[in-house]
Structure 1
Amino acid sequence: MAKRPTDTWREHVAEEIAERAAGLRRVEDTNFAALYPEPFVLATEQVLTSFENEVRGFDAPSDEEVFAAIRRGVEGLNNVDGTHDDHDYDTIEREELCEFIDGVLSEAGIDLDGLAARRGIERCEITDEWREW
């Protein structure tokens, strides 16, 4: 199962909290809670869950159906990125989100190389048409 980036983000926050509580990290040396506030993480997670559920419901989807699901997922993430002031997807988060999308589609049996080739793009570009983050 593709690991959700939101799980990783929460793990980072929890590790910092535990290290602070154990006296292993000073407050000024923490940043994950500021990078990943729960409302931002939760909104991201809701989009990822919707995308995952949609893809899991596929039964021999057409390329158009797959790209429509990708578009809805990416546009949902665009909305999260644009509506959470002072929080956005930076390079690492963008890579994690794209890896998640790729993983969910691959697990559903979608031939991403073939899908991308039929559209005249590279596999790594399947989100690019709609992605603002």
Structure 2
Amino acid sequence: MAKRPPENWRAWMAEMAREVAAGISEPECAGAAEAYPESLLRATDSALETFETEMRTLAEPSDDEVFGVVEGVVLALNVVACDDGHGGVGYCTEEREQLCEYIDLTLGEHGVDVAALAGRRGIDRAEITDAWRDW
């Protein structure tokens, strides 16, 4: 199963904390937790969990059904990214790439040939979230 991006972000914060404590990284790196407030992590996890659940309920889904689920998760992540409750923190380039990769991998894990799906829409597989994505 694809690893949700917030797991990666939590691991990075923990590693930074260990490096600061060990004197490997500068003390100013101790603020790494501010990059990923818990509210952002929880909201992102929730959106991705809903996406996973919706994908599990689809048996031999049509392209429209798959794109409907992709649209749903992207719109949910748009809300997360724009939520002022995260202290002005949203998704940067690396996080956006991880989220897109996660969506792609999760679709594949549920039997969707992402390259073929995208091809039938005349887009590249890297563009499957673009129609709805604000982050």
Q: TM-score, normalised by structure 2?
A: 0.92
Residue by residue, what CA displacement relative to the aligned partner does 1:48-76 show, whole Å, maximum 9, x if unpaired?
Answer: 11111111222001111100100000000
**Residue aligning to 2:43:** 43
- Kindly provide the amino acid, as one letter, of the partner of residue 94 in structure 1: R
User: How many percent identity over aligned positions?
Assistant: 48
Mapping of residues 92-131 of structure 1, within 5 Å? 92-131=94-133
**1:86 match:** 88
> CA–CA distance in 2 between the matches of 1:89 and 1:82?
9
Deviates more, 1:43-52 or 1:96-105: 43-52
Count residues in correspondence: 133
Please give the alpha-carbon distance, in whole angstroms, between the structure 1 residues aligned to 2:30 and 2:104.
31
Aligned letter for 1:19?
A: E
Q: What amino acid sits opposite 2:8 in the alignment?
A: T
What SS class does the counterpart of residue 129 from structure 1 fall into?
Answer: coil
Match of 2:59 in 1: 59
Counterpart AA for 1:126? I
CA–CA distance in structure 2, aligned partners of residues 122 and 16 of structure 1: 35
Distance in 2 separating the partners of 1:85 and 1:14: 20
- In structure 2, the gaps of 5 or more residues are none
Greater displacement, 104-113 / 114-123? 114-123
Contact conserved, 1:9 with 1:32, CA < 8 A, in 2? no
The answer to whether the 8 Å contact 1:51/1:70 transfers is yes
Give, in angstroms, the shift of residue 3 of structure 1. Answer: 1.4
What do you get for the CA RMSD once the two structures are aligned? 1.3
Once the two structures are TM-superposed, the CA of residue 92 in structure 1 deviates from its matched residue by: 0.3
Aligned residue for 1:21? 21
Q: TM-score, normalised by structure 1?
A: 0.93
1:131 Cα offset (Å): 0.2
Q: Secondary structure of 1:6's partner? A: helix
Unpaired runs of 5+ in structure 1? Answer: none
